């Protein structure tokens, strides 16, 4: 059913998962968004709960039924996601940042709907959003495991290795974006990298719950007290 029935290797473990994609408002009716459905994050939450974890999900604009056995906190923008994730993180043994978090937001948000005229609209000025994963890494508590995702369209392994080092995470899941994998589809393929290890765990194209359990296998093996 959830691929690994009867496994309780995350019993007593607090797991925080971010899922979905953030939306940055432009005016009261428009936003900048991305194609993330939340399926991979929700599959991680459901699989972690089956394996005995206490799970909190910070869900950005996810239109799916709540994952079984999880507490769900709903957010829209990167700022809201940041607040919810940083609020829950101190209690978490494992933080998995599966959400597609916006890198840019509108520099000014119009309070009224922007009307069209005969002229072309003024250019949309963008500004950076905070990097939540970098903030988590900066304030992580001893023993806490951090899992990042990397959505890549070109040279995924090189991009993933660079992000593993730059982000200061323990595990980096490289998500190739393409046909039947990545955003807004029920299947995924991934390469999982672990800090200070040359090994790569390759997960071939599979339902997202199977990919979720492979990621959790790696996480469970890194937890203090895990049998090596």
User: Mind telling me the catalytic residues?
Assistant: 34
226 strand-pairing partners: none
Number of helical (H) and strand (E) elements in the chain, helices listed first: 5, 12
| 103 is a contact residue toward Ca ion (CB under 5 A) | yes
| Closest to 97 in 3D by CA, of 19, 44, 187, 24 | 19
Spatial distance between the Cα atoms of 45 and 55, rounded to a whole number of angstroms: 6
CA distances from 118 to 73, 75, 147 (A): 42, 36, 48
Any known ligand binding at 116?
A: no
Closest to ligand CTP by CB, 4 vs 55, is 55
Q: Is 163 annotated as a binding residue?
A: yes
46 binds, among Ca ion, ligand CTP, none (CB under 5 to 8 A by kind): none
Q: Which residue is nearest to Ca ion (CB)?
A: 103
Residue 131 annotated in ligand binding: yes
Query: Which partner from the list Ca ion, ligand CTP, none does 97 bind, CB cut-off 5 to 8 Å by kind?
Result: ligand CTP
CA distance 136 to 221: 21
Q: What is the DSSP letter of 168?
A: T
Binding to Ca ion by residue 131, rule CB under 5 A?
no
Q: Which residues bind ligand CTP (CB under 6 A)?
A: 78, 97, 99, 101, 103, 129, 131-133, 148-151, 163
Which residue ranges make up the annotated binding site for CTP?
Answer: 103, 113, 130-133, 149, 163, 167
């Amino acid at each position: 059913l959830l691929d690994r029935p009867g496994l309780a290797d995350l019993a007593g473990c607090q797991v925080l998962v971010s899922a979905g994609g953030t939306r940055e408002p432009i005016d009261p009716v428009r936003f900048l968004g991305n194609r993330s459905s939340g399926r991979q994050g929700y599959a991680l939450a459901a699989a972690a709960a089956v394996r005995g974890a206490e799970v909190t999900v910070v869900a950005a604009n996810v239109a799916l039924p709540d994952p079984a056995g999880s507490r769900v906190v709903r957010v829209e923008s990167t700022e809201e996601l940041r607040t919810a994730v940083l609020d829950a993180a101190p209690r978490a043994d494992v933080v998995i940042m599966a959400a597609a978090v916006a890198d840019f937001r509108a520099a000014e948000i119009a309070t009224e709907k922007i009307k069209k005229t005969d002229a072309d609209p003024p250019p949309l000025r963008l500004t950076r959003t905070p990097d939540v994963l970098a903030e988590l890494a900066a304030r992580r508590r001893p023993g806490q495991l951090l899992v990042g995702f990397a959505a890549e369209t070109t040279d995924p392994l090189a991009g993933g290795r660079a992000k593993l080092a730059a982000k200061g995470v323990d595990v980096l899941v490289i998500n190739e974006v393409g046909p039947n994998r990545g955003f807004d589809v029920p299947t995924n393929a991934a390469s999982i990298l672990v800090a200070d290890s040359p090994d790569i765990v390759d997960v071939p194209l599979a339902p997202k719950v199977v990919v979720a359990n492979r990621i959790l296998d790696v996480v469970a093996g890194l937890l203090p007290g895990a049998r090596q």
